[in-house]
Amino acid sequence: MMGSSMRHPIDSEDIWRRVDSVPGWLTRAQALELVRLVRLTPQANVVEIGSHQGRSTLALALSDPRAHITAVDPFITARLFNGPSVRALLLDNLETGGVLAQVTLLTMRSSEALRSWTSTRPVDVLYIDGKHDVVSLLRDMRWRRHIRHGGCIAVHDAFSSIGVTLGLAMTLPFSRTVVLTHRVGSLAVLHVRRPQVGERLRFLVHVPWFARNVLIKILLRLGRSTTAGRLGHTDRFDPY
């Protein structure tokens, strides 16, 4: 950790070049937004839910050499990914990126990590990119109890994944502690503070963009990429 604390902050574009070498779905604009959020607080305490191969983990850690990242991922083997192999790739990527000493890796579900959380230091930034179903999103949002007033929550695949969007729809309009401020692509940025009345309705502004993304996903699965292109989506992957 001593060597890490002596490093100077890295230029944002240099961070992106390093992040982009790791496979994943975080866009340049989203990575730079994470950098901005971490840099709002010197020596930020960050919790990441869902690390995969470390694309977002690297962005969070490179933002500030004094930041500490707790990365939570169960690395479960599924149809597309072998859990232990992905975990090994994550550690390799963090070591190559020179940030391994900044990261505490918890190989468990976020609900387990939350139950066993003993840190008394408030969380400054929570990044959520776990399972994309309603129940998991609602469970991940329980971490807000550990976030300081004025801290941030960044939720990936918001307004592009039905489960995540529904989970936010069940939370934001009724929350007394969390405010949606803006989004960067599918990355929703929330702040922990009491919302004003009008801010509760801000969620509705992004519903048309969500509907567009659902339509694009359907078109891609039907092999109608040309039609999806007319909606402004030129990637062969889902919008994120």
User: For the segment 25-77, what is each residue's pLDDT rounded down to a tens digit?
Assistant: 999 999 999 999 999 999 999 999 999 999 999 999 999 999 999 999 999 98
pLDDT digits (tens, 9 = 90+) for 5-38: 446 678 999 999 999 999 999 999 999 999 999 9
Distance between CA atoms of residues 159 and 185, nearest Å: 9
pLDDT digits (tens, 9 = 90+) for 97-144: 999 999 999 999 999 999 999 999 999 999 999 999 999 999 999 999
The residue written with tokens 């994944």 in the block is 161
* Residue 7 pLDDT: 60
Confidence of residue 221 (pLDDT cuts 50, 70, 90): confident
pTM reported for the whole predicted model: 0.92
Beta strands in 114-177 (DSSP E): 123-128, 147-155
Q: Which CATH superfamily is domain 2-204 in?
A: Vaccinia Virus protein VP39 (3.40.50.150)
* Residue 201 pLDDT: 87
pLDDT at 3 over 60: no
Q: What is the DSSP letter of 22?
A: S
CA distances from 154 to 30, 130, 144, 184, 220 (A): 10, 12, 11, 10, 27
Which position has the higher pLDDT, 84 or 105?
A: 105
The residue written with tokens 């790739």 in the block is 89
Distance between CA atoms of residues 131 and 75, nearest Å: 11
Angle at 199 between CA 193 and CA 200, to 5 degrees: 90
Q: Which residues pair with 126 in a beta bridge?
A: 47, 153
* Residue 8 pLDDT: 65
pLDDT at 195 over 50: yes
